[in-house]
Chain A
């Protein structure tokens, strides 16, 4: 099991992928971004790498085709080893019901996609600060 300076981003929308990429570049830190197009893709990448590939965290969009974020979240948190990877739900929905449901399924954080670019930068830099500098996530084998 290795911690890598990688973030797994499950996002079906190309614009949102571009925005995230751009925002992460602005923070300055070297972080490897791995993109998945949907829930199926996400689980495939996580389970089929030759060497166990465990990203530092997963940014999960909820509304994706084939397998949506909710299903993927459920499967991730039921998987014996993958469940240890922190999942940040990153989506447009603001409904309380949705938020509660995601936390129930085991999400670590729920973030609503911001409208403005400056807010997006803030989110990304907080993410970087907390998960890559302040907190040390111990992944035991």
Chain B
């Protein structure tokens, strides 16, 4: 959990950093673009101002030329200026619309220029009629106007020039910082990718190693299982042969030499036989137990009520003998191995019929309920279980032995006590529950009875 949280936080953080730099880059690029066009804008204005200036100067020069030579070709610049200036001045007005002070200056310039041109026109039109004194006065007026013109246009130019400087500076700033952002983004992306790749390879390596380990374990488990099967087979055949013969030979001793041997010998030989028989039964049970480690047959739907009825039929003799009653409610169905389920219930119920209190009529109560795995630490937290409870009112057992009774061949009574049995049954039950991915628990109270709970996953 911790590792994935750490990775998520790290990744989220680097994503955030990347986004921030991308944002900065975007800002930088758009600012650069903005200032670029602003610079261009200012340059166009200045260009136009230059044109205005040269047009006016050329017109003035033309005027002088005409006054000297009376040649009308000298009036071309003036005519040209008169035609073009309105257009340029209007466009300058538009261009400086973002700078109102400048716009009003352009208006002022326009007024001055018209004035100057008007004077020029007047002079030119009335030149032949004017005397030298009036002409000089007029020309001087013109010069004053020209000076005004120069002042205004230079003012405008100066303002534009300083704007240009500022804007060009800004443009340069953004021009220089943009690559840095690019580099930062590329570096971060590269580092994050590299780290991710390294971590991914690491995780993959770990996973492969874990998987390999799992496979190895699985194979060795399979081998153990196969060996176990072999042992089961061996015990059931090869070990039983000598036992058979022990029994036959000890029996032969008794039969052949019954008259010839002292009486004390007979019980001893009978003990030999009895033990050989016991051993044979132990081996048979052990073989049955080991054969259950690999499930036999197919999984099928088993109606528990009818399964228990079958078991009751099988144990009808014992039930009649002990005068026992078995209370079975309607039980649901589970999926499992029907043969093993039969063995399971047979074991538990026959145990209940065996360990009875001598004076009390045995009552075996069966119940069922559904529990969630998380309610019991023994169970798998993610699953639900059907718990079938089998309670009896027999002799019970001490609470502290609740786990011990499941150990193979463990008994809580001595060999000689009247309870026969080899101590195998409950281990078998545990094995069967394990085959069904379930669990079995035991609860007992001395002198009161015992309860066995079978947990089947559903």
- Whether A118 is near chain B, meaning CB under 8 Å from some CB there, is yes
Is A116 in contact with chain B by the CB < 8 A criterion?
Answer: yes
A residues in contact with B255, CB < 8 Å:
117-118, 121
Asked if residues B248 and A19 are in contact (CB atoms below 8 Å), the reply is yes
Question: Binary interface profile of A, 83-116, with partner B (CB < 8 Å = 1, else 0)?
Answer: 0000000001000000000000000000001111
Query: A119 CA to B38 CA in the complex, in Å?
Result: 122
Question: Are B251 and A118 closer than 8 Å at their CB atoms?
Answer: yes
| A53 nearest CB across to chain B (Å) | 30
Is A117 within 8 A of B244, CB to CB? no
Number of interface residues of A (CB under 8 A): 15
A30 within 8 A of B: no
Instruction: Report whether B249 and A117 are in contact in the complex, using a CB–CB cutoff of 8 Å.
Output: yes
- Chain B residues with Cβ below 8 Å from A19 are 245, 248-249, 252
Q: Which chain B residue has the least Cβ–Cβ distance from A22?
A: B252
How many angstroms between the C-alpha atoms of A13 and B241 in the bound complex? 10
Contact (Cβ within 8 A) B241 A116: no
**How far, in whole Å, are A121 and B247 apart by their CA atoms in the complex?**
14
Nearest A residue (CB) for B276: A115
CB interface residues, B 246-260, toward A, < 8 Å: 247-249, 251-252, 254-256
Asked if residues B247 and A116 are in contact (CB atoms below 8 Å), the reply is yes
A95 CB to nearest B CB, Å: 11
Any B CB within 8 A of the CB of A15: yes
B238 to chain A, nearest CB (A): 11
Instruction: Please indicate the chain B residues that have their CB under 8 angstroms from the CB of A117 in the complex.
Output: 248-249, 251-252, 254-256
Contact residues in B for A13 (Cβ distance below 8 Å): 241
C-beta contact mask, A1-39 vs B, less than 8 Å → 1, else 0?
Answer: 000000000000101100100100010000000000000
| CB within 8 Å of A: which B229-245 residues | 240-241, 244-245
Closest to A120 in B: B248
Closest to B254 in A: A117
Residues of A within 8 A of B (CB): 13, 15-16, 19, 22, 26, 92, 113-118, 120-121
- List 9 extra interface pairs beyond A92-B240, A115-B244, A117-B255, CB under 8 A: A15-B245, A22-B256, A92-B244, A117-B248, A117-B251, A117-B254, A117-B256, A118-B251, A120-B252
7 A-B pairs in the complex with CB atoms less than 8 angstroms apart: A13-B241, A22-B252, A113-B244, A114-B248, A115-B247, A115-B248, A120-B252
Please provide the 6 A-B residue pairs with the shortest distance between their CB atoms, ordered closest to farther: A117-B252, A117-B251, A116-B251, A115-B247, A15-B245, A117-B248
B interface residue numbers (CB < 8 A to A): 240-241, 244-245, 247-249, 251-252, 254-256
